Amino acid sequence: MQRTEFLKINRMLTRRHIRIKVMQSLYSFFSSGESDVISSRQVMLKNFDSVVDLKYSILSLIVEIINYAVFYYEDSKKKYLPTDEDLNPNTRLIDNQTIRQLLANFKLNQKIENSSKIWLNNDHDIVRKIFSNIVKSDLYKNYLNDKDLSKCIDKKFITDIMNEIVLNDKLVHHILEEQNIHWIDDLPFVASDIFGEIKDDSVIPSFKTFRHSSDKKFALDIFSNVIKHNNEYEKIIIEFANNWELDRIAKMDQIFLKMAFAEILTISELPLKVSLNEYIEISKYYSTSKSRLFVNGLLDNFVKTYTRNGIIVKN
């Protein structure tokens, strides 16, 4: 799996992330042949709630790694012939100021307690393996030798080991995917949210799924509109598809286009350029290179034609 640069992505549940979650829910709706829209809306909202669960799971993994580090340092002292390093370990990892702040957050630790089970109750020995990878890394060795004891360095180390080691571990991805098939897609957004809180000195999770009520409304409006106007949007796709039959177009690409139509035609407060740019960016991850050109070209033709005909009136 290609290494993900989590630090380059914005905070959790941005409008882009919301669009992706809606797209996942619409794909499930149309693939299953479901007809109960109200029930499907509730399922989608539960999928949004699962993003918060993922955040707790990641934070619980950090806590379990530190718990294992404490055990490891103490257990090493009990060796039959302990070395000086065993008897006097460098405990900068467990004394890290960001880690101590995390462990001291009683409300947070209550929330993440149940999430620890996914890391402890499996056959992968994942916590020990990740700790071992951290200890062997140059990041860890350089951190222990760094004379700068500032909190800034502590923050950087935690984000670096998460970015370089913890959140790019294949076993971590496997365990997360076993819990929820969408968590790998959500992981970069959640990681970025955690990194942002570390940077802001507030390692306290946002307990609300949506930051604003308007975000929830946006998600529900797009979801419902695509279902309600599905046949109409399919006709638009066919109109601009340049002789491509609908069944030749991937289902995800169709959903992607229908969402763009819904947003551009019905959500007046969003600038046209914003909507177009967002869907173009999302297509980079969810369309093949060939279909991405097709989808973006169709969207561009649709916007130009509907603007010229006075159907799209916003800038």
Nearest to 281 by CA among 58, 9, 77, 60: 9
pTM summary value:
0.83
The Cα–Cα gap between 315 and 307 comes to 9
For 244-277, the pLDDT digits (tens) are 788 888 898 999 999 999 999 999 889 999 999 9
Domain ranges within the chain, ordered by starting residue: 49-199, 229-308
Tokens of 255: 């959903």
Residues contacting 264, CB < 8 A, separation 6+: 272, 275, 276, 303, 306, 312
Task: Taking residues 18-23, report their average pLDDT.
Answer: 94
CA dihedral 190, 198, 103, 134 (to 10 degrees): 80
Residue 78 CB burial class (10 angstroms; 0-12, 13-18, ≥19): exposed
Q: Does the pLDDT at position 6 exceed 60?
A: no
Q: What is the mean pLDDT of the chain?
A: 89
Q: Which of 232, 208, 189, 222 is nearest to 25 (CA)?
A: 222
CA 302 to chain centre: 30
State the pLDDT at residue 1.
37
pLDDT at residue number 204: 59
Task: Give dist(CA 35, CA 111) in Å, integer.
Answer: 35
Residue 308: CB atoms within 10 A of its CB come to 9
| Segments in the chain forming alpha helices (H) | 15-32, 37-76, 84-87, 97-103, 106-112, 117-120, 126-136, 138-145, 151-164, 170-179, 183-199, 213-228, 230-240, 251-266, 272-286, 289-308
pLDDT at 160 over 80: yes
Does pLDDT of 7 surpass 50?
Answer: no
Q: What CATH number labels 229-308?
A: 1.10.940.10
